[in-house]
Amino acid sequence: MPSPVFGRLLTAMITPFNADGSVNLAEAKRLAAFLVDDCGHDGLVINGTTGEAPTTSDAEKADLIAAVKEAVGGRAAVVAGVGTFNTAHTIELAKQAQASGADGLLVVTPYYSNPPQDAIAAHFLTVAEASNLPIAIYDIPHRAGRPVETETLIRVAQHPRIVAVKDAKSNVVASSQVMAACDLAYYSGDDAYTLPLMAVGGVGVIGTSTHFTGLRTKAMIEAFVRGDTAGALALHRELLPVFTGVFATQGVMLVKAGLASRGFAPGSVRAPLLPANAEQTATFVALLDAANL
C-alpha cells in the first residue's frame, strides 16, 4: 500500500462557535487535542464542509488553522480546506493557510459553475503552483455538481504537489482505476466506504463520525493493513450504524449535537443550517450509546 502522506485517520473537524456566534478558538484547540491525543488521529482537516467553511470568513479560517496548529502541531497533520468556486480566491486561501501553519491543503472541485474537465484540471494545477504544500483533491460530485473524471485525476497526479484524493464519489471501480494508474493516496470521504476503498488500495479516511468512532476506526484500518481482514470487517459492521447515521441529516448538525451530549461545547451551527432537532439528536445519540462511543 502507498505510504499515506497525511497518515491514515483524519477527521474533518467541526468549527465550535460561542453563544454570540463567534468562533470559539479555545474549544477548537480542546477538541483538536482530544482527537489527536485521546482518539489516535494522524491529522485533522480544518475549514472543510463539516467545519462550516462556506459560512466562515477568511480571517476566521486563518485563526482556526493557527489555533489548531498550536494545539496539535508536531503530533498531527493540519490540513486546510481552501477550495472555492473561484480559482483566484482559492489561491489566496492556499497562501493564507500556508502562512498560518497548515501542513497540507484540501481543494474541492470548483462548484456551481460546472466547469468542464479541462478547466477543472487547470484549476487544480494552478492552485498547486501557488503553494509549496501537498494537496488532496476533494472529489465530491453530489456537492460540487461534477465528478473529477478518471482521466483528469491521472493527469493532475503528474504534478508533484498533488498527492492525494478525498474520495466521496462512491465509485470503487473508478477509484481503483485511478489508483492502478498513478500514486495518488486515496482517503475515503464517506466513513462507511473506508474498508471497501482500502480493499482496492485506499490508505484511510477523512471522516465525520470519527469525531466519535476514531479509536475503533483506527483499529479497523490497522487490522486491514496487517492482514486481519476478518477483524477489520467485524469492526466495520460494528460501526456501520454510526458511519451512516451521522449523515441522516447534514453531518455537522449531528456531530455538534453528539459532541454536546459528550460534554463538549461545539455551539450551534451557522445559517443556513439549523441545529439538529430533538428527534434527530435523540436518534443519533442512541446510536452512539448503542455502540458504546
List, for residues 39-95, the tens digit of each pLDDT value: 999 999 999 999 999 999 999 999 999 999 999 999 999 999 999 999 999 999 999
Q: What is the pLDDT along the chain (293 residues), one digit of tens a residue?
A: 556 999 999 999 999 999 999 999 999 999 999 999 999 999 999 999 999 999 999 999 999 999 999 999 999 999 999 999 999 999 999 999 999 999 999 999 999 999 999 999 999 999 999 999 999 999 999 999 999 999 999 999 999 999 999 999 999 999 999 999 999 999 999 999 999 999 999 999 999 999 999 999 999 999 999 999 999 999 999 999 999 999 999 999 999 999 999 999 999 999 999 999 999 999 999 999 999 99
What is the rounded CA–CA span in Å between residue 124 and residue 87?
A: 9
Beta bridge partners of 45: 12, 79
Distances (CA, A) of 265 to 37, 65, 97, 150: 18, 19, 25, 41
Exactly one of 61, 69, 138, 193 is catalytic; name it: 138
Question: With contact defined as beta carbons under 8 Å apart, do 169 and 142 qualify?
Answer: no
pLDDT tens by residue, 195-222:
999 999 999 999 999 999 999 999 999 9
Q: Which of 76, 124, 70, 79 is nearest to 103 (CA)?
A: 79
Is 138 assigned a catalytic role? Answer: yes
Pair 79, 43: CB distance under 8 Å: yes
Based on the residue annotation, tell me whether 186 is a catalytic residue of this protein.
no
Catalytic one of 61, 166, 169, 218: 166
* CA Rg value for the chain: 18
Cell of 155: 493527469
Distance CA 157, CA 161 (A): 8
Number of Cβ atoms within 10 Å of the Cβ of 177: 16
Domains of the chain, CATH where assigned: 9-228 (3.20.20.70)
- In angstroms, the CA 282 to CA 249 distance is 13
